[in-house]
A = this chain, B = another copy of it.
């Protein structure tokens, strides 16, 4: 009698896939933290030199590039665009907070 390996149950397969997702999410958080360090530096630079927080031309270029990269990676380009818009909105919100807080501090100093 040979020992044939038991195929994994659906719940075992689900657990394995979820483990991969957890690893991927840890990587996403690390890379998003690095992205925020960059956008925070941009926010401070823009605030210091009175450059407007939003830049529609740059955003359009980013979206077009990301859609192309998504298509190449077999990721839905609409999802990639929604994802970038979501991040850009958050970043602009932070830039405005930085700009407002530096205005308040210049008013108060």
Interface set of A (CB-CB < 8 Å, partner B): 10, 13-14, 17-18, 20-22, 24-36, 38-39, 41-42, 45-46, 48-49, 51, 58, 62, 65-66, 69-70, 73-76, 79-80, 82-84, 86-87, 90
Contacts and interface: CB of A to CB of B under 8 A. Distances in A.
**Interface majority SS (helix, strand, loop, mixed), chain A:** helix
Contacts of A84: 25
Given A17-B42, A28-B28, A33 B73 contact: yes
A90 B58 CA distance: 26
18 contacts: A10-B45, A10-B51, A14-B45, A17-B38, A21-B38, A25-B35, A25-B62, A28-B31, A28-B32, A28-B35, A29-B66, A29-B70, A29-B80, A31-B31, A33-B73, A33-B75, A36-B79, A83-B86
